[in-house]
Structure 1
Amino acid sequence: MTRRNFLALSAAGVATAPALLSTASRVRAQAKTIRVGYIADYFGTSLTAIANDQDLWAKHGLEPELKVFTNGPIQIQALGAGSLDFGYVGPGALWLPASGKAKIVAMNALGLSDRVIAQAGIGTMADLKGKKIGVPEGTSGDMLLRLALAKAGMQISDVEVIKMDPSTVVSAFASKQVDGAGIWYPLVGVIKKTVPDLVEVAKSADFYPANSFPSAFVARNEVAEQDLEAVKKFIAVLKDANDYRAADVPRSVEITAKFLGVPADPFVTESQNGKYLTTAELIAATKDGSVASWLKGLNEQFVAFGKLQNPLDPKDYYLGDLYAGG
């Protein structure tokens, strides 16, 4: 190659670079901005983190503004206030879509991390009769406690329920202020460090699949009704991220920890207590009524809690046809 040819090619490259940058800028400018909420744990962050790591937002024409929240109900409030477009909620907050506060656009994972734990010497649910049990009200831990009591032929009035936030459950159980607790991993693992001889008297896997603890992604009602294109693109991102996670959960743990800037160890335990269906499996579960069954099971629990009196039918708040047909 002569010096003249080299200079000519170099000049052509310089001339082309602005055009390439301009094209990338146009693509980004054309991307639709959406506001997305997440919760800083493995279940609540993993798909969002994967979407970032694998550049899935841009792939599907979206530009996300990501916002972290401490729980699902606050996200539902943000959706209602118009300050959030999409969010993530755990099973304990799914009574809100069931009451018409939001639309479910995609299922996330089935949580198997909940436990009813007891102090050493207490081996069964029957042994907890009349005992003090700490539980975060309206959570999946609360749901599991009620299911386990019913299975043992007991009622919630047969135990002394003490309503606590999750961190208080940890300290109260560790200091033996309560005899039992309805709580979940990774918090059970935290408690075990102080109380290694605790007994797991019930676990969510005991009730699967008749009673499942699904988490989900939700959309603001107005977005679901007025911006179907944005919903479809968001679902497409979730589907890709979901299959990436299902294929390599350990790698997704690393990505999630890096995204949140925290150690991966707690997420390893959390990730091992979930069931991750592929997108194809979630579509099949949507079509055969399994997802509706999960949601109806939760609704029955919410009615028992007194959260709801007349929950909506899942077909009225889960956009299953859109998820399965997209």
Structure 2
Amino acid sequence: MPRKSIRHAVTALPLAFLLSLSLSACSGSASEDDSTVRFGYIGDYNGAGLLAIADKQGLWKKAGLTAQVKAFNNGPVQVQALSAGDLDYGYIGPGAMWLPASGKAKIIAIDTLTYADRVIGRPGMTSMKDLKGKRVGVPEGTSGDMVLNIALEKAGMTVNDIDKVNMDPSTIVSAFSSGKIDGAGFFYPAIDTIKKKVPGLEEIASTKDTGDAFPTAFVAGNKVPGAKNSKVIKVLQQANDWRKQHPEETIALTARMLQVTEAQAKADASHVETLSTADLAAKTKGGEVNEWLKKLGEFFVRNKQLDHNPDPSDYYDGDLYGQAYGK
């Protein structure tokens, strides 16, 4: 299989492994019963790791659940599937947090803190000013869009200063590699794919440079019952603690699930900060998680993705997360 971005590698998984994960096409009908969990994810370390662990460790079965999982290119598409009733749960990065904040889904668990997002430019471009008037690709509504807007704001620029082009991630890889775009608001591990074809590309801006927290999260459809959410949260918490205690084994499991090399999965994981469930529960109870979300909300209001910045407790079920941890 060609070495495409980890975000897209799931499409060529071996049949035996697909069956072990109970992959399905996710029809538009509701789950067959309360024990069926239809879970979307992005094919990277953040999105796939806990699902790979839950399957390998038999956590779904122990919880009396059966997981049907399906890969997506980004978070916004998953939220659309949640709203349409095609999924029960999904995974989103920080750039898509405006969607649950706008009431389109409910955050049930924080996954990681990620610093994988960059604004990249062609060789020789070292500042946002170098992108003025240039074609810049971005998957709108994602963390790639978020880092681009943060960088523009910091440079005293707006989207009107560039020729912003909405593209899906795979198109950005090919367009940047072939010289059809001059820059991109994008993310690892897909950037590694571009680097092989454009080794001199410049990383002009990074979320890592801001000093802010950029959480990733698991979300549920608004109509999924709380009792089911509680069971799923517990599975995610158990998988999260296994990941924290077994980082190398998690990389191996994730690489196998996504059919990439362990080196690729390890490089992807290098942009991620994992936290124990105890730490996440404490940060939830103490209000730190809400502060992360509130700060993202302020950005989304400035970026006109939200009309107002709601209280994070309206869309992050931190109480349920804490209750599940206490059981």
How does the TM-score come out when normalised to structure 1?
0.82
Aligned to 1:229: 227
Aligned to 2:174: 171
Deviation larger for 68-77 or 241-250: 68-77
Q: Distance in 2 between matches of 1:68 and 1:120?
A: 33
Aligned to 1:13: none
Aligned to 2:261: 263
Decide whether the 8 Å contact of 2:75 with 2:91 is kept in 1: yes
1:31 positional shift: 8.8
> For the pair shown, which has the larger CA radius of gyration, 1 or 2?
1
Aligned to 2:277: 279
Query: Is it true that 1:122 corresponds to 2:120 in the alignment?
Result: no
Quote the RMSD (CA, aligned, Å).
2.2
Decide whether the 8 Å contact of 2:241 with 2:276 is kept in 1: yes
Post-superposition Cα deviations, 1:193-212, rounded to whole Å, max 9, x if no partner, equal 11111111211111132xx3
Post-superposition Cα deviations, 1:132-168, rounded to whole Å, max 9, x if no partner, equal 3222222211111121222223333233322222222
Post-superposition Cα deviations, 1:179-230, rounded to whole Å, max 9, x if no partner, equal 3221111111111111111111211111132xx332211112222xxx3322
Aligned to 2:148: 145
Q: Distance in 1 between matches of 2:182 and 2:163?
A: 10
Decide whether the 8 Å contact of 1:138 with 1:305 is kept in 2: no
Decide whether the 8 Å contact of 1:31 with 1:63 is kept in 2: no
Residue identity matched to 2:257? F
Decide whether the 8 Å contact of 1:31 with 1:61 is kept in 2: no
Aligned to 1:247: 245
1:259 positional shift: 2.6
- Aligned residues with identical type, % of pairs: 51
Aligned to 1:23: none
1:311 positional shift: 4.6
Helix, strand or coil at the partner of 2:279: helix
Decide whether the 8 Å contact of 2:74 with 2:142 is kept in 1: no
Q: How does 1:1-326 map to 2 (within 5 A)?
A: 32-209=35-212, 212-223=213-224, 227-326=225-324
Could you tell me which runs of 5 or more consecutive residues in structure 1 were left unpaired when the two chains were aligned.
Answer: 1-29
Helix, strand or coil at the partner of 1:222: coil
* CA pair 102-109 structure 1, distance change in 2 beyond 3 A: same
Residue identity matched to 1:37? G
Decide whether the 8 Å contact of 2:42 with 2:74 is kept in 1: yes
1:109 positional shift: 1.1
* CA pair 299-177 structure 1, distance change in 2 beyond 3 A: same
* CA pair 58-308 structure 1, distance change in 2 beyond 3 A: same
Helix, strand or coil at the partner of 1:307: coil
Residue identity matched to 2:116? S
Helix, strand or coil at the partner of 2:223: helix
Decide whether the 8 Å contact of 2:34 with 2:228 is kept in 1: no
1:114 positional shift: 0.7
Q: Distance in 2 between matches of 1:220 and 1:276?
A: 25
Residue identity matched to 1:220? G
Residue identity matched to 1:296? K
Decide whether the 8 Å contact of 1:35 with 1:65 is kept in 2: yes
Q: Distance in 1 between matches of 2:34 and 2:168?
A: 40
Decide whether the 8 Å contact of 1:105 with 1:320 is kept in 2: yes
Residue identity matched to 1:309? D
Helix, strand or coil at the partner of 2:104: coil
Helix, strand or coil at the partner of 1:134: strand
Decide whether the 8 Å contact of 1:100 with 1:312 is kept in 2: no
Aligned residues, how many?
Answer: 292
Q: Distance in 2 between matches of 1:113 and 1:285?
A: 22
Q: Distance in 2 between matches of 1:80 and 1:163?
A: 22
